[in-house]
Amino acid sequence: MTVLNSKIPQGPLQEKWKNFKASQKLVNPSNKRKLDVIVVGTGLAGASAASSLGEMGFNVKVFCYQDSPRRAHSIAAQGGINAAKNYQNDGDSIYRLYYDTIKGGDYRAREANVYRLAEVSNNIIDQCVAQGVPFAREYGGYLDNRSFGGAQVSRTFYARGQTGQQLLLGAYGSLSRQIKQGTVTLYSRCTMMDLVIIDGKARGIITRDLVTGEIQRHFAHAVVLATGGYGNVYYLSTNAMGSNSSAAWQAYKKGACFGNPAYVQIHPTCIPVHGDYQSKLTLMSESLRNDGRIWVPKKKEDSEKLQKGLIKASDIAEEDRDYYLERRYPAFGNLVPRDVASRAAKERCDAGFGVNGTGLAVFLDFKEAIGRLGQHKIEERYGNLFQMYEKIVDTNPYKQPMMIYPAIHYTMGGIWVDYELMTTIPGLFAIGEANFSDHGANRLGASALMQGLADGYFVLPYTIQNYLADEIRTPRLSTDMPEFVEAEKNVNDRINHLMGINGKHSVDHFHKELGKIMWEHVGMGRTEEGLKKGIELIKELRGEFWKDLRVAGDRNEFNPELEKADRVADFLELGELIAKDALQRKESCGGHFREEYQTPEGEALRDDKDYMYVSAWAFKGQDQEPELNKEPLVYESTEVKVRNYK
Amino acid sequence: MDFTLKIWRQANAKAKGKFVTYEVKNISSDCSFLEMLDILNEQLIDKIEKPVCFDHDCREGICGMCSLYINGQPHGPDAQTTTCQLHMRKFKDGDTIVIEPWRSKAFPIIKDLVVDRSAFDKIIQAGGYISLNAGSAQDANAIPIRKELADKAMDAAACIGCGACVATCKNGSAMLFVAAKVSQFALLPQGKVEAKERVKAMVAKMDELGFGNCSNTGACEAECPKGISISNIARLNREYFCAKMS
């Protein structure tokens, strides 16, 4: 069995991070210059980590598959970032932010990590404002806040509907400053293909230059993965097309445990699917639920008429509308957490009340808010989102309610890390969405940006020194060492294999097939039977992939087909692990809903006695069953309750 | 809907490029422009031909990765829209569509419709940031900022760095891009201390990288998918002039 040592510091919850910082090892400035760190990924977590480590004096190499760090998918986050500032004087505190987050995660996250996240949240806002992030302000000149799903206070800071963009550009600015100063070297259009391990420690990576196809070796004393989530396993998702889990998957195959892969968030407010040529789904910020009211018709015949296009939403009288979230959850109403809102939408659509041509959509209606606040105010708050909706759907959401449906959005699972954000491979760290640690089974709104920046600016720069302090005597190793040579050979073999199959079907063909299996059998509602079937189908599809794939173009040129093939090969393995994890977890929690385990009212039914653990899967060889390790979750300071948003 | 596509094909930076004509049929009007190109590429792969390379990533109009000169306009005919958010309903059935890469000396072609925009990163690296170490900031509400200034800073900061402004400018000028960043910081108190060094360094870098000068034709504003105003260029000029004079 793999030993999972979570390294949670002793002491009361409120003191753990303080105590850790007071007693951790540090690296003195002259030694920092001798140490190299690789950061893979340049989103919020990667850019903030690389720039912080550069500022501190380490030599940093940072890699991104895009042409520029400014393109990382963090840029697409719309709604906001949480912090426990209590600027609104509505009773917020670090403890309350912590409590909402751990409850929102259905008590499947680590207490100490989540408390630390809430603790550093305030520093993030200070840091970003000082960087010139133009957050929304009130007329008095002070920062404005709004509220998000899962919270009853206004703690979300935002920059119109482009918060992720502004935060990322802030981190990108910090990174650019370090690049100019020479502490950070940027490798763009470059992807990590493998991890190099020497004497049991992560010592470097193998990369492929995406323009020339050249394979390169890079040494470092420590490697940090900030590679985001794996939602694109489902093909249709709100992730950018290039978002992938290949680096994380290679790390898993080299010995890093994969934590809670089944925890995939389904976001309730996305633009519904409309055709089989569709390449991705677009999310509409959850902040819309502040002012938008969600409903479907009360009468099935009205829904049927809507589906056929015979009537419009405005033809349905107020008393014939079912504001089902307000009805079922009077305390939180339209602001229930994402998993609750998603399941409620699915329940109504499955019952035949859906309103799109496909029957798979519900209304998000701003009529009442426009009446109360005026169209101008709504435009100011959500203008770009309304514009985006109109572009895609071709109807004016100021006049007709939006239609929304849940879609795959964020993955709470990821590489298992300890309190120091180190994986089960010494010297390999994982931060942001790439790790599993802070969200449990579900993620509340505006907490992903918080985690990315917390890890990158305020957690990893401290914790990594605890490891690096013992590495100051390790010289820079030659990349001619056999471990590098072998890793490069494996990468070359894999590329040659992919290029040489010469089958009939394109990469996208397999990716779409995988996506259908995942959504159908490992999606919003999971059953034992469906998961078993899904695992079989994925295995079959993987067999076909390696027999019947056709990769166009050559390996030594700019070749997006080859990039995709490499990623889909990994998704085909990861998809199976997601299903396996979902199968073993015989309970419902957060984004993981096993239909066999629900209350009579259709709410998620947790089993705290048997499943209050992190599942951490260890790779045991190709085509071997992976090993399930369990890290028990101990709640010292928090009373574990049934989640209730009524 | 059926379309005839005339697409610029170029194997790599050094190869000679040419237009190649393709036909696509039965395209839904709800299809996005990039999804239409996906369909074309599936056809090409089926025929054992090389698919057309084009840049794209988020497909939500925010990452700035997609480009394409469509019928002589960056990001196509729809105002304030990126290529990924352009839909085929904006074209007529049977249309011939000409698709080219960004055209600018400072953005060399990598392959087909893909160009190298790293010059933008180099301009930012020259000083397009606030010099601040992590962990040393004061409380975020310590300096109140007038709402209208914060809003204006946000208007400028909305730039996605796609390069349409450069591609459409007859001088290949990067003034709108630089002006947006300079304006964002010029409007906020946080950026003031190093404002002079910032604007001088960014403009010098822009010139060094081969971008042309602004001659006030306004094409950049007209084609900007995020509607960044040309008034930012006036602010840039003022900032630059003051920095040079003091």
Q: Which of B28, B63, B80 to mutate to test the interface with A (most CBs of A within 10 A)?
A: B63
Q: What is the pLDDT of residue A275?
A: 82
Selected residues 78-107 of chain B with any CB under 8 Å from a CB in chain A: 78, 80-81, 85, 87, 89
Q: Which two tokens stand for residue A643?
A: 């989640």
pLDDT above 90 for A576: yes
Cα distances (Å, whole numbers) of residue A235 to A231, A242, A575, B210: 8, 11, 11, 40
Structure confidence by residue, pLDDT tens digits, A103-141:
999 999 999 999 999 999 999 999 999 999 999 999 999
Whole-angstrom distance, CA of residue A331 vs CA of residue A164: 29
Do B114 and A558 make contact, defined as CB atoms within 8 angstroms? yes
- Is the Cβ of B111 closer than 8 Å to some Cβ of chain A? yes
Q: Which residues of A touch B121 (CB under 8 A)?
A: 68-70, 176, 186, 188
Question: CB–CB of B165/B220 below 8 Å?
Answer: yes
Q: What is the pLDDT of residue A287?
A: 83
Question: CB–CB of A421/A226 below 8 Å?
Answer: no
Q: Which two tokens stand for residue B109?
A: 């072609």
pLDDT above 90 for A150: no
Helices (H), A478-606: 482-500, 507-521, 528-548, 560-584
Helices (H), A241-337: 246-253, 300-307, 324-328
Q: Which two tokens stand for residue A522?
A: 């490992």
Cα–chain-centroid distance for residue A464?
A: 22
Selected residues 159-218 of chain B with any CB under 8 Å from a CB in chain A: 160-161, 184-185, 188, 190-191
Q: What is the DSSP string of A368-426?
A: HHHHHH-HHHHHHHHHHHHHHHHHHH-S-TTTS-EEEEEEEEEE--EE---TTSB-SST
Whole-angstrom distance, CA of residue A594 vs CA of residue A600: 14
Q: What is the pLDDT of residue B146?
A: 97
pLDDT confidence bin for A598, thresholds 50/70/90: very high
Q: Which of B14, B33, B57, B122 to mutate to test the interface with A (most CBs of A within 10 A)?
A: B57
Query: B71: distance to nearest CA of chain A, Å?
Result: 20
Q: Which residues of A touch B89 (CB under 8 A)?
A: 394
Do A391 and B87 make contact, defined as CB atoms within 8 angstroms? yes
Report the length, in residues, of chain B. Answer: 246
Is B241 in a helix, a strand, or coil?
A: helix
Q: Which residues of A touch B64 (CB under 8 A)?
A: 70-71, 75
Query: B107: distance to nearest CA of chain A, Å?
Result: 12
Query: A209: distance to nearest CA of chain B, Å?
Result: 13
Helices (H), chain B: 33-46, 118-125, 147-157, 164-168, 175-186, 195-208, 219-223, 231-245
* Residue A261 per-residue DSSP state: T
pLDDT above 90 for A573: yes
pLDDT above 80 for A281: yes
Give the pairing type, strands A36-40 and A59-63.
parallel
Is A569 in a helix, a strand, or coil?
A: helix
Do A557 and B85 make contact, defined as CB atoms within 8 angstroms? no
Neighbours of B201 (CB within 10 A): 18
Do B31 and A277 make contact, defined as CB atoms within 8 angstroms? yes
- Is the Cβ of B148 closer than 8 Å to some Cβ of chain A? no
Q: What is the pLDDT of residue A129?
A: 98
- The low-confidence residues of chain B, meaning pLDDT below 70, are none
Whole-angstrom distance, CA of residue B3 vs CA of residue A13: 63
Q: Which residues of A touch B232 (CB under 8 A)?
A: none
Whole-angstrom distance, CA of residue A461 vs CA of residue A192: 22
**Under 8 Å CB-to-CB from A623, ≥6 apart: which residues?**
none
Query: B1: distance to nearest CA of chain A, Å?
Result: 14
* Residue A435 per-residue DSSP state: B
Q: Which two tokens stand for residue A221?
A: 């004393």
- Is the Cβ of B58 closer than 8 Å to some Cβ of chain A? yes
Do B130 and A130 make contact, defined as CB atoms within 8 angstroms? yes
Whole-angstrom distance, CA of residue A170 vs CA of residue B220: 24
Facing residue for B58 by CB, picked from A76, A550, A557: A76
Do B124 and A560 make contact, defined as CB atoms within 8 angstroms? no
Q: What is the pLDDT of residue A3?
A: 83
pLDDT above 80 for A377: yes
Do A275 and B153 make contact, defined as CB atoms within 8 angstroms? no
Strand partners, A430: A225
Q: Residues A596-609: what's their mean pLDDT? A: 91
pLDDT above 90 for A2: no
Neighbours of A339 (CB within 10 A): 30
Q: Which two tokens stand for residue B238?
A: 């003022």
Q: What is the pLDDT of residue A646?
A: 79
pLDDT above 80 for A582: yes
Do A388 and B153 make contact, defined as CB atoms within 8 angstroms? no
Q: Which of B34, B54, B112, B132 to mutate to test the interface with A (most CBs of A within 10 A)?
A: B132
Whole-angstrom distance, CA of residue B226 vs CA of residue B156: 9
Cα distances (Å, whole numbers) of residue B182 to A125, A169, B62, B156: 22, 13, 20, 9
Whole-angstrom distance, CA of residue B99 vs CA of residue B237: 34
Question: CB–CB of A181/A58 below 8 Å?
Answer: no
Give ipTM to 2 decimals. 0.98
Q: What is the pLDDT of residue A276?
A: 85
Question: CB–CB of A469/A493 below 8 Å?
Answer: no
Print burial letters for A105-141: b (CB count within 10 Å at least 16), e (below 16).
bbbbbbbbbbbbbbbbbbbbbbbbbbbbbbbbbeeee
The chain-wide mean pLDDT, for chain A, equals: 95
CA atoms within 13 A on the CB side of A140: 6
Is A56 in a helix, a strand, or coil?
A: helix
The secondary structure of A224-249, three-state, reads EECCCCCHHHHCCCCCCCCCCCHHHH
Q: Which of A48, A85, A133 to mutate to test the interface with B (most CBs of B within 10 A)?
A: A133
Neighbours of A357 (CB within 10 A): 14
Structure confidence by residue, pLDDT tens digits, A7-43:
999 999 999 999 999 999 999 999 999 999 999 999 9
Q: What is the pLDDT of residue A116?
A: 98
Facing residue for B60 by CB, picked from A51, A76, A186: A76
pLDDT above 90 for A645: no
Q: Which two tokens stand for residue B226?
A: 């995020």
Neighbours of A262 (CB within 10 A): 26
Chain A to chain B, count of Cβ pairs less than 8 Å apart? 218
Neighbours of B141 (CB within 10 A): 17
- Which of A153-162, A230-239, A576-585, B86-95 has the least mean pLDDT? A153-162
Q: Which helix H or strand E contains A122, and what residues bound it?
A: helix A111-130
Structure confidence by residue, pLDDT tens digits, A53-102:
999 999 999 999 999 999 999 999 988 999 999 999 999 999 999 999 99
Q: Which residues of A touch B225 (CB under 8 A)?
A: none
Q: Which helix H or strand E contains A297, and what residues bound it?
A: strand A293-297
Question: CB–CB of A137/B145 below 8 Å?
Answer: yes
Do A176 and B124 make contact, defined as CB atoms within 8 angstroms? yes
Percent of all residues in chain A with a pLDDT value above 90, rounded to a whole number: 90
Query: What one-letter code names the amino acid at B218?
Result: G
Q: What is the pLDDT of residue A70?
A: 98
Is A429 in a helix, a strand, or coil?
A: strand
Structure confidence by residue, pLDDT tens digits, A489-525:
999 999 999 999 999 999 999 999 999 999 999 999 9
Facing residue for A166 by CB, picked from B117, B146, B157: B157
Q: Which helix H or strand E contains A180, and what residues bound it?
A: helix A163-181
Do B127 and A388 make contact, defined as CB atoms within 8 angstroms? no
Q: Which residues of B touch A165 (CB under 8 A)?
A: 62, 158, 160
Do A275 and B157 make contact, defined as CB atoms within 8 angstroms? no
**Under 8 Å CB-to-CB from A174, ≥6 apart: which residues?**
A47, A48, A51, A52, A55, A131, B129, B132, B134
Is B177 in a helix, a strand, or coil?
A: helix
Interhelix angle B33-46/A507-521, rounded to 10 degrees, is 120
pTM over 0.95: yes
Q: Residues A291-311: what's their mean pLDDT? A: 95
